[in-house]
Amino acid sequence: MSRNGISGTDRTSDKSKQLFDRKISQVRPTGVSILAALYVLGGMISLLGLVPRLGLSSLHLRLGTLGTVLVIVEGIANFIVAYGLWTGMKWAWIAAIVFAVIGLLNIVLGTIVSIIILFYLFKEEVREYFR
C-alpha cells in the first residue's frame, strides 16, 4: 500500500480505466467533432471503394483478397476511431496521432493535412479533453 492508500495494482487499473473512460461531463471541442466526422467520411469512402463501379479505390483490385481485407480493416478502423474521438476516449486520441503520423508519408496534401491534425491534437484544450 502506498501513502495515499492505493496499491500499485489499483493505480495500474486506474490508468487503463482512464484510457477507456467517456467524457460525459466535458464539452467536446468543435475540432474534435469535425475530426470524428472526417473519420466517418473516410470509413465510408474506404468501404464504398469496394464497389468497383464507383471506382473510388482500386487497391482491392490490384492486391486481390489482401487488398480487400486491408480496405475493409481501414474502413472499420476509421469508424472505431471516429466513435472514440466523439466520446472522448484517450485511445482514440492516440490512434488519431498514429494515423496522422502515417499520413505524413502521403506527399503534399496528406502531409499538410496530417501536420494540421497533429498541431490540433496537441493543443492544450484538446489534450485536456482526452485526459
- The answer to whether residue 17 sits within a structural domain is no
Is residue 105 situated within a structural domain? yes
pLDDT tens track for 46-76: 888 765 544 445 555 666 677 777 778 888 9
Asked whether residue 14 is domain-assigned, the answer is no
Within a domain: residue 21? no
Average pLDDT of the chain, as a whole number: 78
Specify the number of domains making up the chain. 1
Question: Taking the model in full, what pTM does it have?
Answer: 0.70
Residue 3 is assigned to a structural domain of this protein:
no
Instruction: Give the cell for residue 124.
Output: 492544450
Backbone torsions φ then ψ of 6, nearest 5 degrees: -110, 130
Q: How many CB atoms lie within 10 A of CB 50?
A: 17
> What is the extent of the structural domain holding 32?
28-129
7, pLDDT greater than 80? no
